[in-house]
Amino acid sequence: AVAAVADHVAPWRSVYKLHLQSDATELTFVLTSGGHNVGIVNEPGRAHRSYQLSVCREGDRCIDPQTWKEQTPTTEGSWWPVWQEWLKRHSSGSEAPPEMGSPDKGYPPLCDSPGTYVLKQ
C-alpha cells in the first residue's frame, strides 16, 4: 500500500488502516512525502523527497499509525526504485496481453487506441 503524508483525498492514517482489514500474509506499506499527486508521482532525482517503508508479516503485531510513523526510519529520495524491486520480487514475469475485444463472443475490437472519441471536438 502507498500513502502520502499530505494527501487530502486519501489521508495516510486511513490508508494505514489496511493493516487492520487485510488478511494478507504480508503487507508492505510506504508513506511518501508530498500530497495526493506529488506523493505518487515521485520520480527519482527530485529534491526534498523522502519515504518510510515497512513490511508487516503474518503474526506481527499491528501498531497504531502515529507510533508506526515515529518508529519507521525515513529514507531520502524517491520510493519508486524500492517499489520497482518489490514488483520484481512479487511478479511472475512478462506475458502477452489478452486479445482486444472478444471475437469468440461476437465482439470484435472497435478500433485502435486511443479510440475515436479523443479526435472529436
Q: How far apart are CA 79 and CA 74, in angstroms?
A: 11
Tens-place pLDDT, residues 14-70 = 999 988 888 788 889 999 999 999 999 989 999 999 999 999 988 888 889 999 999
Q: Phi/psi zone of residue 59: left (φ > 0), alpha (ψ -120 to 50 degrees), beta?
A: left
Sign of CA dihedral 78, 18, 55, 52: positive
Structural contact between residues 54 and 69, judged by C-beta atoms closer than 8 angstroms: no
Domain positions in the chain are 2-92
Q: Which pLDDT belongs to residue 9? A: 96
What is the residue whose three cell numbers read 520520480?
A: 43
Q: Which pLDDT belongs to residue 50? A: 97
Query: What does pTM read for this prediction?
Result: 0.76
Angle, CA 70 vertex, CA 85 and CA 88 arms, to 5°: 5
